[in-house]
Amino acid sequence: MTARVAVEARAVRKRYGAVRALDGVTLAVEEGEFFGLLGPNGAGKTTLISALAGLAIPDSGTLAVMGHDVRADYRQARRSLGIVPQEIVFDPFFTVRETLEFQSGYFGLRDNGAWVDELLDRLGLVPKADANMRSLSGGMKRRVMVAQALVHRPPVIVLDEPTAGVDVELRQALWAFVKDLNQAGHTIILTTHYLEEAQQLCARIAMMKEGRIVALDSTARLLASFSERVLRVKLARGTLPGALLADAAPEAGGGWRIPIADMAHVERSLAQLREAGAAVESLEVAEPELEEVFVRIMRRDDAVPFPP
Amino acid sequence: MSGFPALLRKEVLRFWKVSFQTVAAPVVSALLYLLVFGPALGGRVGAFPGVSYAQFLVPGLAMMAMLQNAFANSSSSIIQSKVTGNIVFILLPPLAPAELFAAYLLAAMLRGIAVGVGVFAATLWLVPVPLLHPLWALAFAAVGAGLLGVLGIVAGIWAEKFDQLAAFQNFLVMPLTFLAGVFYSVHSLPPFWRDVSRFNPFFYAVDGFRYGFFGQSDVPPATSLGFATAALAALSCLTLYLLARGWKLRH
- DSSP for B101-148, please give it: HHHHHHHHHHHHHHHHHHHHHHHTTTS----S-HHHHHHHHHHHHHHH
State pLDDT tens for residues B63-90. Answer: 999 999 999 999 999 999 999 999 999 9
The residue among B88, B22, B85, B56 whose CA lies nearest residue B187 is B56
Alpha-carbon span B2 to A105, nearest angstrom: 8
Domains of chain A: residue spans and CATH: 1-80+186-226+289-308 (3.40.50.300), 228-287 (3.30.70)
Cβ contacts below 8 Å, chain A against chain B, sum to 83
- What would the pLDDT profile of A221-254 be if each residue is shown by its tens digit? 888 877 778 888 888 888 888 888 888 888 888 8
Put simply, whether A85 touches B (Cβ < 8 Å) is yes
Express the helix, strand and coil content of chain B in percent, nearest 5 each: 75, 0, 25
Model pTM? Answer: 0.88
Choose the closest CB to A106 out of B84, B95, B246. Answer: B95
HSE-up (13 A, CA, CB side) for residue A158: 24
Residue A308 has a pLDDT of 40
What ipTM is given for this predicted complex?
0.90
Beta-carbon contacts of B45 under 8 Å, excluding residues fewer than 6 positions away, are B53, B183, B184, B185, B188
CA-based nearest distance B232→chain A, Å: 26
Contact of A44 with chain B, judged by CB distance below 8 Å, is answered with: no
Q: Give the 3-state secondary structure of residue B156.
A: helix
Q: Considering only CB atoms, which chain A residues are within 8 Å of B86?
A: 89-91
Mean pLDDT of chain B: 92
- Model confidence at A257, pLDDT cuts 50, 70, 90, reads confident
State the number of CA atoms in the 13 A half-sphere of B125 facing the CB.
Answer: 2
d(CA B75, CA B159): 9
- Does the distance separating the beta carbons of B85 and A106 come in below 8 Å? no
> What residues of A are in contact with residue B12 (Cβ under 8 Å)?
none
Contact A108 B1 (CB under 8 A): yes
3 state DSSP class of A128 = helix
Q: Is A75 on the interface with B (CB under 8 A)?
A: yes
Nearest CA in chain B to A90: B86
Average pLDDT over residues A122-151: 93
Mutate to test the interface with B, among A93, A111, A159 (most CBs of B within 10 A): A93
**Candidate ranges A170-184, A233-247, B140-154; pick with highest mean pLDDT:** B140-154
Interchain CB contact of A105 with B (< 8 Å): yes
Residue of B nearest to A75 (CA): B94
- The predicted structure's pLDDT at residue B164: 95
Report chain B residues whose CB lies below 8 A from the CB of A103: 89, 93
Residue A258 in contact with residue A231, Cβ under 8 Å?
A: yes
CB-CB under 8 Å, B6 with A104: yes
Q: Are B63 and B211 in contact (CB under 8 A)?
A: no
Task: Mutation target for A interface from B16, B89, B95: give the one with most A CBs within 10 A.
Answer: B89
Q: Does A102 contact B85 at a Cβ distance shorter than 8 Å?
A: no
Whether A299 contacts chain B with CB within 8 A: no
Cα A25 to the center of its chain, rounded Å = 17
Instruction: Indicate yes or no: CB of B251 within 8 angstroms of CB of A55.
Output: yes
Q: A307 preceded by cis ω (within 30°)? A: yes
In the predicted structure, residue A306 carries a pLDDT above the cut 70: no
Distance CA(A23)–CA(B56), nearest Å, equals 64
